[in-house]
Amino acid sequence: MSAAFRLGDLAVPVIQAPMAGIATPELAAGASLAGALGALGLGASSPDQARAMMAEVAARIGSNRYGVNLFCHAPAQADPAREATWLDYLTPEFARFGATPPAILREIYPTFLHDDAMLAAVLDAGPAVVSFHFGIPDASRIAALRDGGALLLATATSWAEARAAQAAGLDGIVAQGFEAGGHRGVFDPSQADGRQSTADLIAVLQPLGLPLIPAGGIMDGADAAHWLRAGAPAVQMGTAFLACPESAASTEHRAGLTSRATVMTPAISGRPARGLENRLTALGADPNSPPVPDYPIAYDAAKQLNAAAGGAPDYAAHWAGTGAARARALPVAELVVLLDAEIRAGLAAGR
């Protein structure tokens, strides 16, 4: 079955990035109702939680015109010695709050590559768009999702990743530049990252002939119009939606958008991700830092340390892109309407 939804169907050619833990059903529904494509990140959710969130979005918008994102990372390789060394390194940080590190670390988020319950939840809900991050699922899962009518996208940070998505028969590529907030979509974090900007990555990927959705550093309608004039069917924007009251970003996270720089770090989750710099990112950057455990095992340590610190920003995963200071604190519907006006003005000015 071919996808019933096309990116060209969007009244406002903007995809609200499916930020796991931040993009709430209210945010996603608000974006879709205003004419953009709202999306949910399911990588940090159980199948039951995913079902509830998708059902809420569908009820709010009265259709399946929303997207979901699934994490397709290789299963973590547990290494008790490496994990113990990392916990030893963090012990003084736990001690600052009268706490001790956990005895062991767990793989707290399963990969969609082997999660049949999550596949069933997504197939039952039938969102219009399904995107993949960290990799691509096998042919049987892709076929099942395609038979359900979903438009299928994958994040790519390089030619090789985009070519793999093309070979898998996907419908488009989210071209994630190094400016983007949150987790890098690299398939294999053990390999060197070319760290290409959004502009450089788009230029490299154009010969593939697939629809390319720029992501990274896009904060307003003028930024979006630049890419739409260049032929993009839509843009993906995440950090631009962080300050919306419908997002789940904490007060500290919102405040940090204008007061703290961003840094790419594996120290929080075990995979490279761009977020607001803090004490934990600095510890990870220290030359004496030991190797970080695999994703998401390292995330277990960070979350427990953050809980011990009472949620203070020193150890929190406050993901954000390089344009964080330009985020606007508007209700999501108002933001999408403003983006639409800015896009129209930008496209008119570019003629």
Q: Could you tell me which residues come within 8 angstroms of residue 49 by beta carbon, excluding any fewer than 6 positions away? A: none
How many Cβ atoms sit within 10 Å of the Cβ of residue 215?
29
pLDDT at residue 350 in the model: 78
CATH of 1-75+111-243+331-351, picked from 3.60.60.10, 3.20.20.70, 1.10.10.410, 1.10.287.370, is 3.20.20.70
| C-alpha distances out from residue 206 to 159, 209, 216, 307, Å | 10, 6, 17, 44
10-residue stretch averages of pLDDT, the chain, 351 residues long: 84 98 98 98 98 98 98 97 98 98 96 98 98 98 97 98 98 98 97 97 96 98 98 98 98 97 98 98 98 98 97 95 98 98 95 60
How many whole angstroms separate alpha carbon 200 and alpha carbon 205? Answer: 9
* CATH 3.20.20.70 domain residues, the chain: 1-75+111-243+331-351
The beta-carbon contacts of 24-29 under 8 Å, at least 24 apart in sequence, are 24/53, 24/246, 24/247, 24/248, 25/53, 25/56, 25/57, 25/60, 26/60, 26/246, 26/332, 27/241, 27/244, 27/246, 27/247, 27/248, 27/332, 28/57, 28/66, 29/56, 29/57, 29/60, 29/61, 29/66
172 three-class SS: strand
Q: What is the DSSP letter of 319?
A: B
What amino acid occupies position 306? N
Nearest in space to 92 (alpha carbons), one of 272, 254, 314, 350: 314
pLDDT at residue 351 in the model: 60
Nearest in space to 224 (alpha carbons), one of 17, 23, 64: 17
For the record, the structure tokens of 181 come out as 């907030």
348 phi/psi in degrees, rounded to 5: -65, -40
